[in-house]
Amino acid sequence: MRIQRAQLLTRTVIAFLVAALPYVPVFAQQWPVRPLRIIVPFPPGQGADIVGRLVAERLTAVLGQQVVVENRPGAGSMLGTEYAAKAPGDGYTLLIGGTSALVINPHLYTKLAYDTLRDFAPISNLASLPMVVCVHPSFRAHNIQDLIMVAKRRPGEIAYGSSGNGSADHLTQALFASAAGIKLTHVPYKGSAASMTDLIGGQIVMATATTPGAVPYIRAGQIRALGVTSLQRSPFLTDVPTLDEQGVKGFNVIAWAGLVAPAKTQLPILERLNAEVVRMLKTSEAQKRFQDLSMVPIGDTREQFGAFLKAELTTWGEAVKLSGAKVE
């Protein structure tokens, strides 16, 4: 009799535990049952868009559901980012988020409709885009120390271009000027293409651009690379030393593109997405595509990407403060 009572009690407990299991794992096991979309807050053809399409191809193949890229550009990447932040956390909406959208804009805009850490769950950082300090070939500086020496002799006379007030390239140059103890004059443009055109044409003598934006012009001899802003040299510009190597110790500023989801997306879904994306980034096809784009693939864990986001928010917050940039 005692044995039967014990068996009955055991069955009752098991039944209770099964019934008490949260809905989340059951939902996650069934996911996905319909197509997914990856929001890219930039126009088609840009680096983030190409990265998004690589991810979409991989996920379509392994999830058994179509994954489509949905371009929602505008307002300095804020429109698409806000849209993704407000999407349901059901695993069917993802976002390619980058430096400007996730870690600069929160400091740049007094009113922002999303909060990076509150509204998004990290999946994986996808690509690193170190920046390159470049000058017009006619400029007398051939390395970072030359540039610093000229700038100290002519404070405020060296004009550098950027893709806009508060952009990653603007803030990178502001951080560099502060670290080097020099004064430079900022000339904001409406987009990186315009500033690069004027650098090539000699209307400005200096600019900083990501490796994808700078490498073709450097190889063509239209601009001269003085230094790379990451701690390690770029595999696409192995003969160009870092700023750290050239005396600006500890300087480590990069742009990047990562994959995030709305904050309430369930953990099993996030873990599955991370595993598939990391696996994709290790394939020879993805490696070649990233190399063609002059990007370095990353593919870190969710925990690593989350810690990285927090650190980047601090770094770029300091950069915004140094530059004095604000956009209403």
| DSSP character at residue 319 | H
299 and 266 share one domain: yes
For 306, the token pair is 């989350």
Q: Cβ atoms within 10 A of the Cβ of 158, count?
A: 20
Count Cβ neighbours within 10 Å for each residue of 14-23 and write b for 16 or more, e otherwise: eeeeeeeeee
For 125, the token pair is 């950082």
Q: Helices (DSSP H) in 240-296: which residue ranges?
A: 267-281, 284-292
pLDDT number for residue 191? 82
Domain boundary among 176, 208, 228: 228
Domain boundary among 184, 211, 228: 228
45 and 98 share one domain: yes
135 and 197 share one domain: yes
Residue 280: name the closest of 298, 295, 293, 262 by CA: 298
121 and 139 share one domain: no
Tell whether 245 is covered by a domain: no
Element (H, E) at 212: helix 211-219
For 143, the token pair is 């390395």
pLDDT number for residue 45? 77
Tell whether 69 is covered by a domain: yes
Cβ 245 vs Cβ 41: under 8 Å? no
Instruction: Provide, for the chain, the percentages of residues in helix, strand and coil under a 3-state DSSP scheme, each rounded to the nearest 5.
Output: 45, 20, 35
Q: What is the pTM of this model?
A: 0.84
Q: How far is CA 23 from the centre of its chain?
A: 33
Tell whether 37 is covered by a domain: yes
The answer for residues whose C-beta is within 8 angstroms of residue 309's C-beta and 6 or more apart is 102, 103, 116, 117, 122, 258
Tell whether 5 is covered by a domain: no
Question: How many residues are recorded in the chain?
Answer: 328
212 and 124 share one domain: no
60 and 30 share one domain: yes
Domain boundary among 228, 246, 274: 228
How many alpha carbons lie under 13 Å from residue 17 in its C-beta half-sphere?
6
30 and 123 share one domain: yes
Cβ 237 vs Cβ 157: under 8 Å? no
Q: Could you tell me the CATH number of the domain that includes residue 124?
A: 3.40.190.150
pLDDT number for residue 47? 78
- Where the chain has pLDDT below 50, the residues are 2-3, 6, 8-10, 12-24
Q: Could you tell me the CATH number of the domain that includes residue 153?
A: 3.40.190.10
pLDDT number for residue 279? 95
Q: Distance from first CA to last CA of the chain, Å, rounded?
A: 76
pLDDT number for residue 114? 96
Tell whether 43 is covered by a domain: yes
Residue-range definition of the domain harbouring residue 266: 23-129+256-323
Residue 69: name the closest of 101, 32, 37, 97 by CA: 37
118 and 140 share one domain: no
Q: What is the CA radius of gyration of the chain?
A: 23
pLDDT number for residue 7? 52
78 and 146 share one domain: no
For 11, the token pair is 């069955």
Q: What is the DSSP string of 66-101?
A: -EEEEE---TTTHHHHHHHHTS-SSSSEEEEEEHII
217 and 164 share one domain: yes
105 and 183 share one domain: no
Tell whether 138 is covered by a domain: yes
Tell whether 238 is covered by a domain: no
The answer for residues whose C-beta is within 8 angstroms of residue 148's C-beta and 6 or more apart is 180, 181, 182, 247
E-strand spans in 101-253? 120-135, 159-162, 185-188, 206-210, 224-228
Tell whether 242 is covered by a domain: no
Q: How many domains does the chain contain in total?
A: 2
285 and 213 share one domain: no
